Chain A
Amino acid sequence: MEHPIWQEGVYAALKTAGVRQLGYVPDAGHAHLIDAAHADNEMRAVVLTTEEEGIALAAGAWLGGQRSVLLMQSSGVGNCINMLSLPINCRMPLLMLVTMRGEWGEFNPWQVPMGSATQGVLERAGVHVRRAERADEVVEMVAASAALAFDCRIPVAVLLSQRLIGAKVWVK
């Protein structure tokens, strides 16, 4: 699948940050990162059945001395809320990359409620949220958010806006 060049930059930023485990519930917007992780012998890619599994995976990774990242789309954020008590109580880092649905050019109304609530819900649950709108800011934002998460041991989410990702094209 073709992917924008910034997605390669994001993967490189994760590598530079020392990320060794990548948990994901797939999204088309994360496809390059997922493929790159599976092709990388130094990265463990873990496909999840639901997003909160990834919060617990990240906690276990940190407990064992490894850094990780968690990929999901905005619809999965709501699944994570109680599990966020784990990194917060344990003073552990968490780096989440969230592709947004339910905003720019959305076709599917079922994506709108959670998409609209994503940032507020994360912030109320104690997660520091950054939002990338433009291709030229994404890589730097991911790198800075990784530093914030791992150096300060706090949960950080980077929201990748639907305008950035590109609205899903529905063939009628």
Chain B
Amino acid sequence: MSQGTIDRRAVVATLLKDPGDLLVVTGLGAATYDAGAAGDRPENFYLWGAMGGAVMIGLGLAIAQPTRRVLVITGDGEMLMGMGSLATVAAQAPDNFAVAVLDNGQFGETGAQRSHTGLTTDLAAVAAACGWPSVSTLRTMAEVEAISPRLRRERLFTVIKISPAEVPRFLPPRDGAKLTARMHQALGIVGDP
């Protein structure tokens, strides 16, 4: 499969521009760094572990907060580990939920080993086969800019082919208890849910 060329930081900065009250869950590794670099905010929940869990955390959050929008931003490796969750989410059909996969076709954190999406797997086709009503694969910034508002309106699954080039590390907060507490505060959840 051919590699992407667009810059991951520019992609995520576009997806998270003027975020409003968008709730964001990011998969571990570079997706977490990209979202932090776009501007840390209490409505961002960064994973630093729990690989394969980003989409399911987004689903639980979307069910609990039906009047808010949830966007999961993750990488191809994290999405591959949680591929079954694409079937689980499709079956639940949450209207307020979208997923953007930053796909560089490799495991960037561990030495740039090629991933399945860099070999044979088409994640957008997987999502479509699971029952997602709208899927896409993007390769240009113009396409990213066009889909960004739709990710805040529709139940979408989109794969964005990004350049595998390394970018500077940006390390957002990693204390899970604090990330949870500040999300609760942002949602107006006081005391024990």
Specify which chain A residues have a CB less than 8 angstroms from the CB of B23 in the assembled complex: 64
Docked pose: A64 CA to B183 CA in angstroms? 8
A86 touches B49 (CB 8 A): yes
Whether the pair B84, A63 counts as a contact (CB closer than 8 A) is: no
Interface residues of B, dominant DSSP? helix
Mark each residue of chain B from 48 to 91: 1 if its CB lies under 8 Å from any CB of chain A, else 0. 11111111111111111100000000000000001011011001
Q: Do residues A82 and B63 form an inter-chain contact, with CB atoms below 8 A?
A: no
Residues of A in contact (CB 8 Å), total: 35
- Closest B-chain residue to A88, C-beta based? B176
Contact between chains at B63 and A62 (CB < 8 Å): no
On whether the beta carbons of B50 and A60 are closer than 8 Å, the reply is no
The A-B contact count (CB < 8 A) is 123
Nearest CB to that of A53 among chain B residues? B56
A47-B91, A89-B177 as given contacts; A53 in contact with B63, CB under 8 Å: no
A60 touches B59 (CB 8 A): yes
Does B187 have its Cβ within 8 Å of any Cβ on chain A? yes
In the complex, A83→B60 CA distance in Å? 15
Q: Is A121 an interface residue (CB 8 A)?
A: no
Whether A13 is near chain B, meaning CB under 8 Å from some CB there, is no
Contacts of A66 in B (CB 8 A): 60, 63-64, 193
| Given A46-B88, A91-B176, A52 and B52 contact (CB-CB distance below 8 Å) | yes
Residues of B contacting A49 with CB < 8 Å?
84-85, 87-88
B179 within 8 Å of A (CB atoms): yes
A60 adjacent to B88 (CB under 8 Å): no
Nearest-neighbour CB distance to chain B for A95, whole angstroms, equals 13
CA distance A92 to B166 in the complex (A): 34
Name the B residues within 8 Å of A64 (CB-CB): 23, 60-65, 187
B189 at interface, CB cutoff 8 A: yes
The residues of A that contact B18 with a CB separation of less than 8 Å are: none
Instruction: Assess whether A57 is in contact with B65, with CB atoms less than 8 Å apart.
Output: no
Which residue from chain B places its CB closest to the CB of A49 in the assembled complex?
A: B84
Write 12 A-B pairs (CB below 8 A) sorted by A numbering.
A47-B91, A53-B53, A53-B84, A56-B50, A56-B60, A57-B60, A60-B64, A61-B64, A63-B60, A64-B64, A64-B187, A90-B180
* Known contacts A56-B85, A83-B52; 10 further A-B pairs (Cβ under 8 A): A20-B64, A53-B85, A56-B54, A60-B60, A63-B60, A64-B63, A65-B189, A86-B53, A86-B176, A89-B48
Chain B: residues with CB nearer than 8 A to chain A?
23, 25, 45, 47-65, 82, 84-85, 87-88, 91-92, 175-177, 179-180, 183-184, 187, 189, 192-193
